[in-house]
A = this chain, B = another copy of it.
């Protein structure tokens, strides 16, 4: 695939996509048709200093750039990052990243690579990727929700991504679904969607439920640091009651949040992406049920819940790279 694509694109401009997550940073070189020609990954977490992060990113990416025909073929770089600001190119107070305060990341990367850089929220980038290459192709109104280390979202209305007045729109993960609910360690806020429907959230739900219930469960044998949505899934497909309850509980909260989002911007579809979606109907069924249950009649049985069909490794890179084709 990579070979064929690179063959047919000799001399054509390419885009670099970088997706910065709380744990790792993925990057790749992408052609206009959405083929990820080369890709790689480094750790985000281990770099408490953003400068050493950029140094490692530069080393790793330079290799790929050489393979792809050199810097001259690169039209630019697109970056998706938590709390990324499209207007200013900064990352501001990102609760899930090791760098605190305001980081002028676009400028720093631009300076290092000598290429034009556009930056946005990681979930916004994913939404653009879905709109250009994925499940939301051709849609003018949809919401992208990423269920990963955190919960991110990108909202498209009237065919355009909503950045908001300050560039930070789309933080559905931080909306409060359970007032005075579970505390979010990163933000200090109580009851946000992210504190329940993220990887960390599902683990916390599992720990809480195991403590509260006296029921036997396969999950009691899983060490706490392995207790993630994958482990819960493995138990649930074997009919484990407690594991099923964890998905039901998570779906109830996610479904409520989706209903609220639907009544806000009335999208044609909600595209879900990320680890939690791998549980398939175990999570989708309760999510869909509770979404419908909380919708007023006029919105019922209208909104599709879709799971992104882009390869997980590619989707974030694709989305970030798509920003490059929108550059002027």
Q: Which A residues are closer than 8 A to B by beta carbons?
A: 83, 92-93, 95, 139-141, 155, 157-158, 160, 162-172, 174-179, 187, 189, 256, 259-261, 263-268, 294, 296-299, 302
Contacts and interface: CB of A to CB of B under 8 A. Distances in A.
Given A167-B266, A169-B264, 4 more contacts: A93-B296, A165-B268, A172-B264, A187-B296
B176 A256 contact: yes
A278 to B, nearest CB: 26
Contacts of A266: 162-171
A141 B168 CA distance: 12
A157 to B, nearest CB: 5
A299 B168 contact: yes
Given A175-B260, A179-B256, A264-B175, A168 B294 contact: no
Contacts of A174: 263, 296
Contacts of A158: 157-158, 160, 162-163
B165 A267 contact: yes
A298 B92 contact: yes
Nearest to A300: B93
13 contacts: A83-B298, A93-B296, A95-B296, A141-B164, A155-B264, A155-B265, A157-B160, A165-B268, A171-B299, A176-B260, A177-B179, A189-B294, A264-B264
Nearest to A181: B179
Contact of A294 (B176, B261, B265): B176
A93 to B, nearest CB: 4
Contacts of A189: 294, 296
A265 B164 contact: yes
Residue of A155, A176, A296, A297 most packed against chain B (CB within 10 A): A296
A268 B265 CA distance: 17
A146 to B, nearest CB: 15
Contacts of A160: 157-158
A27 to B, nearest CB: 25
Contacts of A268: 165
Contacts of A140: 165
Contact of A157 (B162, B168, B177): B162
Contacts of A265: 155, 162, 164, 169-170, 264-265
Contacts of A296: 93, 95, 171, 174, 187, 189
